[in-house]
Structure 1
Amino acid sequence: MNARLPFLVLLGGPLTVTPAFRARVAGWRSVAADSGMRHAEVLGVTPELWIGDFDSASPDLSAAWPDVERQSFATAKNETDGELAVRAAIERGAGDLVLAGGLGGDRSDHALLHCVLACRLRAEGWNVELTSGREDAVALSPGRIEVPLTAGTVFSIVGFSELNGLTIDGARFPLDDYTLPFGSSRTISNKALGPVAITLRSGTALLVTRPDPNDKG
């Protein structure tokens, strides 16, 4: 695994594209999953692989990208198109993964799967970020992470297990070496005072942020 190689994975959920995000991913290698290909044009990227069962990609979308390599799968299969796309990115050398279109949308089952998949991959050594453009999420693992948030940014830590040794610095509601029970809402809707540092001794969690402090959603 090359931890220095970022890879963009285009998934089928909604994506609000900002100039900053478009500039960030310019020149990145990318893979698209089925209807996630619709994000490619507005992002200014050309995926090197288009993968899936193609049950949600429109004929117009297919016609717009005739030269992109495709891998087709049956609709009845053991993995989602998104998981297949992530696997393909890893096989092509991805170290850091950004799953664009990985949050929100009308398929909450897929969005939840992307969150759990991100946590699993983080435990296996990959840095994984999910984004809808309106919200971002980063999988957390034991250790310390510093997040360059602006003052007023709303953020939450969603635990997928009991979280031990949780410390939050730089927030309206700080914590120090706290044990967060599984299923607790204690760490939902915090606010950054500026850059935030999070330390976790053990457990599995997702950090969810809303980049626009004025977006109350």
Structure 2
Amino acid sequence: MSHFVILLAGRMLPTPRLRAALSGARAIAADDGMRHAGPLGLSPELWVGDFDSTPQEPPIALAGVRRETFSRDKDKTDGELAIEAAIGLGADRVTLVGALGGPRSDHAFAHLVLALRYAREGLGVSLLDGVESAYPLDRAPRRFDLLPGTQFSILKFSNVEGLTIEGAKWPLEAVDLPFTSILTQSNEAAGPIIVSLRAGEAILIAQDDPAVR
């Protein structure tokens, strides 16, 4: 598999676990996401965006990175451009770093929507930042190796049908839920969990354990 890391401008805590998850991956930075490269020990091969949130003159260590500059008046986000660039370079799996937290909630929402879209197109997608981890759900049962006591939620982006959660404090079996339900907020893993759904759009988001960061 060709694994790419997409560096975005949101929150990032460079934990040993996060660095290990990114080991061996190729990297592309989106605008100010480049600031995460050093702390994560990554050397991006491409830097894309409109560069409205980065210094006009990059640090010497970044001066040689190939840049693709886009107008601010564009119809794609910098993160979207970076993902498309990774696909163009042969990615079949991407990890979005810095996608979840940050000063703008609309950016985090956009990254979750992008994750769902590209996952539906067959791209492997995960969102990691050292504080939380998120994964689009699909029709096949999927195992998540969470530690006992880990808090997690299922974020719905539509009505969902046949949602099953095994191995949690509050399990569910083939439950249909409207988009407006918050029943899947703040569950707790008893250990590894298995999640699946028959129809709908949803993302699992889990809190990383600070004791093992």
Shift of 1:59: 4.3
One-letter amino acid of the counterpart of residue 57, structure 1: T
Indicate which of 196, 199, 202 corresponds to 1:205.
Answer: 202
Indicate which of 28, 42, 56 corresponds to 1:31.
Answer: 28
Work out the CA distance in 1 between the residues paired with 2:152 and 2:49: 33
Work out the CA distance in 2 between the residues paired with 1:21 and 1:150: 16
Question: Given the superposition, is the C-alpha separation of residues 136 and 61 from structure 1 closer, same or farther in structure 2, using an over 3 Å criterion?
Answer: farther
Work out the CA distance in 2 between the residues paired with 1:211 and 1:24: 13
Equivalent position of 1:22 in the other structure: 19
Work out the CA distance in 2 between the residues paired with 1:181 and 1:109: 23
Where does the alignment leave 5 or more consecutive residues of structure 2 unmatched?
Answer: none
Equivalent position of 2:77 in the other structure: 80
Equivalent position of 1:57 in the other structure: 54
Conserved in 2, the CA contact under 8 Å of 1:152 and 1:213?
A: no
TM-score w.r.t. the length of structure 1 is 0.94
Work out the CA distance in 1 between the residues paired with 2:202 and 2:180: 11
Give RMSD over aligned pairs: 1.5
Q: List 4+ stretches of structure 1 deviating above 3 A.
A: 59-64
In the alignment of these two chains, the number of paired residues is 212
Work out the CA distance in 1 between the residues paired with 2:210 and 2:60: 39
Indicate which of 191, 207, 212 corresponds to 2:188.
Answer: 191
- Name the SS for the 2:102 alignment partner: coil
Structure 2 matches for 1:142-161, cutoff 5 A? 142-161=139-158
Work out the CA distance in 1 between the residues paired with 2:58 and 2:207: 30
Once the two structures are superposed, residues 88-145 of structure 1 have per-residue CA deviations (whole angstroms, 9 ceiling, x without a partner) of: 0111111111000000101111110000010111111112111222111111122210
Q: Is residue 46 of structure 1 aligned with residue 62 of structure 2?
A: no
Shift of 1:62: 4.4
Indicate which of 104, 107, 112 corresponds to 1:107.
Answer: 104
Shift of 1:34: 0.5
Where does the alignment leave 5 or more consecutive residues of structure 1 unmatched?
Answer: none
TM-score w.r.t. the length of structure 2 is 0.95
Shift of 1:8: 0.3
Equivalent position of 1:98 in the other structure: 95
One-letter amino acid of the counterpart of residue 18, structure 2: F
Work out the CA distance in 1 between the residues paired with 2:3 and 2:13: 20
Shift of 1:58: 2.2
Shift of 1:85: 0.5
